[in-house]
Amino acid sequence: MEVRWDVFLIILGAALVTFIPRVVPLMILSRFELPEWGMRWLNYVPISVMAALIGQEFLLNDGKFSPIANNVELFAAIPTFWIAIKTRSLLGTVLAGIVSIMILRMFIQKIKWGCPKAMNWLFGTTP
């Protein structure tokens, strides 16, 4: 087996680039205690990042705001969030999301091919 040094150096560089930003803050922050306001502020970082990622996925389509009436993912997120809050189960949440997006897409496909007037009434468009 031949080792290509350029590929090896790229892999090594990628490992360093991902390792350094994770380890350096941990090493620095472990040496002193953060103030209470800093700890409270850090508690909001994960939910803020998750909200930004999810909001972008639900509200944007090709970099533009998508109309709410055509946004199947947003409608599928409603029962998914409800299941997540009620059960606190990752598996239940994932299954609820998969089932709700599947049902909504199947429902919309039936409407598109079965009744163009219903499609126009629901979404303001024709197939």
Q: List per-residue pLDDT tens for the chain, 127 residues long.
A: 687 899 999 999 999 999 999 999 889 888 888 899 988 998 999 989 988 888 888 888 777 887 776 778 888 989 999 999 999 999 999 999 999 999 988 887 776 666 666 556 555 555 5
For residues 76 and 100, is the Cβ–Cβ distance under 8 A? yes
For residues 83 and 92, is the Cβ–Cβ distance under 8 A? yes
Rounded to whole angstroms, the Cα distance separating 74 from 110 reads: 19
Rounded to whole angstroms, the Cα distance separating 98 from 106 reads: 12
- pTM for the model: 0.55
For residues 47 and 41, is the Cβ–Cβ distance under 8 A? no
